[in-house]
Structure 1
Amino acid sequence: MIDYVKILIKNLAPSTLEANPLLNFFDNINLSTGELKTTNRNGNKVTPSKNANYNGLEFKIYDTGTITLSGSLHKYWNSGAHNFNDFNIDALLLVLNDLKNKFGIIPNQCILKCLEIGINITPPIPTNEIIDNCFLHKTKSFEHKHNSDEGNYKQWVHSQYIIKLYNKALHYIRKGFSIDIEIMRFEIKYTKMQKLNEKGIFSLQDLINYGLHNFKDEVLKEWQNVLYFDNTTRIDTLSKTIKKRLLEYSNPNYWTRLINNKQIENFKNHRKQLKEITTKNSNNIQSSISKTINNKIDFLNIKTTQIDTLTILSKRVVLKNICRVTGINISMQKDESILLSHTGLKYYYKSDKKIFEQIKRTYLSKKWFNSNFEIQIKEIAHNIRNKSSNTNNKQKRIYKPTQLNTLNMLGI
C-alpha cells in the first residue's frame, strides 16, 4: 500500500552514507563556472546538496547536514524496476529491514514529509473507461498530468492531499513490460502531514505501529468521493425526463458549471439523483471497485506466520510434512514428499494466495513473472529442487564423507 515517501532522516551522520559502497554521491555543479547549483528550474533558491540513487530511492545530503530520502519503497522491493505488482506488509517490513542493514536507516528516526498510500486492483471494466468517467472528487475538477515515472494520470488537488488515478498496466506496457491484465491504481498522496499527525503518525515507525489496514476506510471514502458516471446504466425502461437528465450527467462540464456558479446545494441534489439512478439501473461499477479495494487491502495486510520472507526457513530442522527448503506445510502432498511440489503450489494458490505470492517472489525468476500459471508452477518447483540440491552439494563439500562432523555427533 505504501509507495512514494519523502522522509527526513535524524541521527545519521552524513559521513556514514558518503562512505557506503552502495552509494555514489554527485554534486549539482555548473560545468561552466564550477559553482554549486543554488537555484532550481523555477529560479527559487535551493540549498546545495549531494545526491545518490539506489534501487529507485534518492539520497540527499545538504550542505547544512540535513539528510532526506525520497522515492518508491514499492519499487525498491522490485530493485527499482516497477511498482505494478502487490506490495504487502511483509514486503514493506523486509524493505525497512534492508534499509536498516545497508544504510543504518532506522524507521523511528525517519520523519515523514510526504506519503503515498495506494492500491493496485484489477477493475471490473477497462481502466481507461473508468478514468474517463471520473469527473470530480468532492467538488474539485480533475487535472491531467504526465511524468516519466507514472505516465499519464488524472488527479484532484486538495489543500493537504492529492487523489491520483491512472492506468498502471498501460504505463508499464509502454515501458516494455509484458502485462496481460488490467491494473488500476488509486492513491492518496499526503502533501501536508496534518492528517497523519492527527493519527499520531510522525515517523515511519509510527506508520507501522498505526497499521496500514487502518487506512482502508479512508481509501474507500476517498474513492466514494469521486463523482463517477456509470456507463453500464440501462436506459431502456427510464422515462424521457430521466434520460435527458442522464445525458446532462454524462457531461463533466455540467458538473463543473454547477461548482463554478457556486450552486453547491444544486450540485449535491443532482449528485444524489445520479447515485439513485445508478444504483437501480446499472452494474454499480463504483461499488464493485469499492469491494475489490476492500478485499485487496485486507489481503495485503495479513501477516503470514508460516513463511519467513527473509530466509524462508531454509536452514531449520526438517520435520515430517514440512518442505525442507521453504519450511512450508506439505501435508497435502504424498507422505514421502520432502519438497514443495506442483500439488502443494496449486493447493496454496487456491487456498492461501498470500503464501503462494511470497513463495513466488522468492523462488520464481523475474523472467517468468508474466508467463502463464502452469509455467510459473513448473519453474517454482524446479527452483525449489535446485535449492535443495545446491544445499546438499554444499554440505558435501564442507563435510566430506571421511570428515568428522561435530554437528552430527551432537544430533544437530
Structure 2
Amino acid sequence: MIDGINIELAGFDCRLWKNNPNLKFRYYTEEETKEVLGSRKAYFKGLTFTIEPKGKAKISGSIHTFFNNGDNNATRFTYDDFVNAVSQLSQFGVNPKTAILRGFELGLNLDTTACKIDNKTFIDSILYCKGATRCDMMINEKPGFGYIFKTTNTRYKFYDKSEHAKVETSELLRVEAKFTRMRAVENYGIKTLFDLMDKEKLSKLIVDKYLKAIDETIFFEWDLIKSTRKIPTKYKSKFKDLRNPDWWIKDERSRIDRHRNKLLLEKLVKLYAKRNIKNILKDLISLELEAVTRNKNCYEYTEFKSLNNWNKPDNAKKSVTNAQRIVGCDSHDQREGKKKKKYCLICGKEITGQKSDSKYCNDQRICRDKAYNLKVSENRKKKKSDKEKEILKLIKNLGSEFTLTRTTNPNRKKAKGVKARKTSIIVTINGKRKYYHGSQARFFLDEFEKKTENQPEPELCT
C-alpha cells in the first residue's frame, strides 16, 4: 500500500553511509581545488541516498522497489512487506522513530483482467477528481496511459502500471495518492516512518485520504450512453453537461450543488447504462485491500477493521449522522477549512471562483468602473466637505477681521459660446492671502453673507 517515501534522518552520522560498500556516492567537484559541489547522491535498489552540503541525510524513492531488490513496484506490497522493508533499512542506520517524513505515497496495483475492462477505459472515464484539472501523465515518455490531478498538498494518479513497469503478464491499473506536503496528514499524528507502521493511524488515513477520494471522484463511461435518446426529456440538456469533464471544474460550485449533480449522474448511469464502472473499480480496490492488509498468519479480513465497511451500500454515510458524504474539492490548503463565498460589492453576483483579492465581478468591467466612479465621487465629496469645514471655521473665528476680494460675479450666468470664468475670492488675513475658487468661493460668499446679514458689510475691493 505504501510505496514512495521521502524521509529526513535527524541527528544522523553520515559516515555510516560513506563507509557502506553498497552505496557509491556521486558528486561534482571543482576542477582546481577538488572541492565537492552540491549534494552527494547514491542509488541503491530504487532508493536515493542524499547527503546535503550542510550534513543533512535524506532517503527518497520507492520502498516497494527496494523490497523487491530494485526490480519494480508492480507486485502486491502488503503491510507486512512494508514493515519488513523498514527493518531492512536498519543496515543503513535508519531508525524509524527519528526518520522524519517529508512526503509519501499510498497506492494499489489492481489486476483488471478479471473484470474484462481495459485500463484505458477506467482512466478515460474519470470526469472529476478533487476540483483539479486533468493532466496527461507521461509513461515511458508517452502520453495516453494515465492522468494526474494536482491539488495543493496531494496528487492523485490513475495510470497503466503494466505499461509503466513493462509487465506483460497482466493488466495492472495503479490508483495512487501522493502527499507532497505533510500538512495534508498532520491531523492524523503521522510525522515519522514509525507512525506509518501504526495500524490505527494508517487505517484512518487510508479511509479519509484514499478511499474517500475514490468515493468523491466522478466516473462516466461514455460508450455506454452515447446519446440522450433514452434519457428523460427533463434531463437531456442537463445530462450533456454532466458527462463533460470541463463542466465540473469551470465554475466554483458549492459542495452541495456538486454532490447533487453527482447523485443525478449516478442515478442516470444506474438506470440507463449496462454497468457502473465506478462500482467495479471499488470492488477491485476492496479485494486488493483485503490482500494487502491481511496478516500472513490470519486469513480473515480483521487487521484493519475500519476498512471493512467501506464498499457497502451505506459506505457513503458518516458514523454520527445519516448525511451522505459530499463531493469535496481539495484544491486549497487543508488548514484553511471551508472556503467562504464572496460576492461582488456592486451587483451582488457570486465571485468565489475568481482571484482571492477580487472584489467585483468580471462582467465587461461594468462593476469595477462603477466602483471606481463611486470612489472618485466619495473622494470629491470628502475633499469638498473638509474645505467647507475650513471655511466655516474661518468665518466663525475671525468674523470680520479679514478682507475679501471678489474677482468675478458669482451670479453671472454662462452665455452660449462665451467661455465661462470661475468665481474666485482672495481672503487677506494678517497680511497673508488665501485663495478660493469655483464652488468653494461661492460657498464662502454664501456663508459669509449669512454671517454678516445683520452686520455692517466688510470692505469689498473690486
After TM superposition, the score normalised by the length of structure 1 is: 0.64
**Change in CA separation of 1:238 and 1:58 when aligned onto 2, cut-off 3 Å:** same
Does the 8 Å contact 2:127/2:243 carry over to 1?
no
Look at both structures and tell me which one has the larger radius of gyration over its CA atoms: 2
Deviations along 1:311-366, whole A, 9 cap, x unmatched? Answer: xxxxxxxxxxxxxxxxxxxxxxxxxxxxxxxxxxxxxxxx899xxxxxxxxxxxxx
**Change in CA separation of 1:247 and 1:191 when aligned onto 2, cut-off 3 Å:** same
Instruction: Give secondary structure in 1 for the equivalent of 2:24.
Output: coil
Per the alignment, residue 106 of structure 1 pairs with 95
- Paired residue type of 1:203: T
CA distance in 2, matches of 1:31, 1:118: 44
Report the Cα offset of residue 58 of structure 1.
0.3
Per the alignment, residue 135 of structure 1 pairs with 127
Query: Is 2:154 aligned against 1:161?
Result: yes
Query: Is 2:108 aligned against 1:119?
Result: yes
**Change in CA separation of 1:95 and 1:264 when aligned onto 2, cut-off 3 Å:** closer
- Paired residue type of 1:194: R
CA distance in 2, matches of 1:53, 1:286: 39
**Change in CA separation of 1:35 and 1:12 when aligned onto 2, cut-off 3 Å:** closer
Report the Cα offset of residue 258 of structure 1.
3.9
Per the alignment, residue 188 of structure 1 pairs with 177
Deviations along 1:90-109, whole A, 9 cap, x unmatched? Answer: 21122112111x21212112
Report the Cα offset of residue 8 of structure 1.
0.3
Deviations along 1:158-180, whole A, 9 cap, x unmatched? Answer: 1111111111012223xxx4x23
Q: How does 1:374-393 map to 2 (within 5 A)?
A: none
Instruction: Give secondary structure in 1 for the equivalent of 2:147.
Output: strand
Q: Percent identity?
A: 23
Report the Cα offset of residue 233 of structure 1.
4.2
**Change in CA separation of 1:138 and 1:196 when aligned onto 2, cut-off 3 Å:** closer
Report the Cα offset of residue 49 of structure 1.
1.2
- Paired residue type of 1:225: E
Per the alignment, residue 358 of structure 1 pairs with none
**Change in CA separation of 1:266 and 1:300 when aligned onto 2, cut-off 3 Å:** closer
After TM superposition, the score normalised by the length of structure 2 is: 0.57
Instruction: Give secondary structure in 1 for the equivalent of 2:191.
Output: coil
Does the 8 Å contact 1:57/1:72 carry over to 2?
yes
Report the Cα offset of residue 183 of structure 1.
0.9
CA distance in 2, matches of 1:252, 1:303: 40
Unaligned runs of 5+ residues in structure 1 are: 38-47, 307-350, 354-412
Deviations along 1:22-46, whole A, 9 cap, x unmatched? Answer: 1111113467996655xxxxxxxxx
CA distance in 1, matches of 2:247, 2:286: 31
Q: 1:204 aligns with which of 163, 188, 193?
A: 193
Q: How many residues align?
A: 292
Report the Cα offset of residue 75 of structure 1.
0.7
Q: How does 1:275-294 map to 2 (within 5 A)?
A: 275-282=266-273, 283-294=275-286
CA distance in 2, matches of 1:64, 1:181: 46
Report the Cα offset of residue 85 of structure 1.
0.9
Per the alignment, residue 42 of structure 2 pairs with 52
**Change in CA separation of 1:182 and 1:237 when aligned onto 2, cut-off 3 Å:** same
Does the 8 Å contact 2:110/2:284 carry over to 1?
yes
CA distance in 2, matches of 1:30, 1:3: 36
Per the alignment, residue 340 of structure 1 pairs with none
Does the 8 Å contact 1:220/1:294 carry over to 2?
no
Does the 8 Å contact 2:220/2:277 carry over to 1?
no
CA distance in 2, matches of 1:237, 1:115: 45
Does the 8 Å contact 1:248/1:254 carry over to 2?
yes
CA distance in 2, matches of 1:22, 1:149: 30
Report the Cα offset of residue 148 of structure 1.
5.1
Does the 8 Å contact 1:216/1:297 carry over to 2?
no
**Change in CA separation of 1:244 and 1:146 when aligned onto 2, cut-off 3 Å:** same
Report the Cα offset of residue 197 of structure 1.
2.4
Does the 8 Å contact 1:213/1:298 carry over to 2?
no
Report the Cα offset of residue 248 of structure 1.
3.6
CA distance in 2, matches of 1:253, 1:97: 46
- Paired residue type of 1:6: N
CA distance in 2, matches of 1:64, 1:147: 35
**Change in CA separation of 1:233 and 1:109 when aligned onto 2, cut-off 3 Å:** same
**Change in CA separation of 1:226 and 1:136 when aligned onto 2, cut-off 3 Å:** same
**Change in CA separation of 1:273 and 1:132 when aligned onto 2, cut-off 3 Å:** same
Q: 2:294 aligns with which of 291, 302, 315?
A: 302
Instruction: Give secondary structure in 1 for the equivalent of 2:198.
Output: helix
CA distance in 1, matches of 2:68, 2:11: 28
CA distance in 1, matches of 2:238, 2:269: 12
**Cα RMSD for the two superposed structures:** 2.9
Q: 2:250 aligns with which of 250, 257, 260?
A: 257
Segment drifting more, 48-57 vs 128-137: 128-137
Unaligned runs of 5+ residues in structure 2 are: 302-462
- Paired residue type of 2:213: E
- Paired residue type of 1:292: L
Does the 8 Å contact 2:130/2:151 carry over to 1?
no
Query: Is 2:57 aligned against 1:64?
Result: no
Per the alignment, residue 334 of structure 2 pairs with none
- Paired residue type of 2:284: T
Report the Cα offset of residue 67 of structure 1.
0.2
CA distance in 2, matches of 1:149, 1:55: 22
Does the 8 Å contact 2:73/2:165 carry over to 1?
no
CA distance in 2, matches of 1:265, 1:147: 36
CA distance in 2, matches of 1:92, 1:4: 11
**Change in CA separation of 1:136 and 1:28 when aligned onto 2, cut-off 3 Å:** farther
Deviations along 1:292-320, whole A, 9 cap, x unmatched? Answer: 212311221112138xxxxxxxxxxxxxx
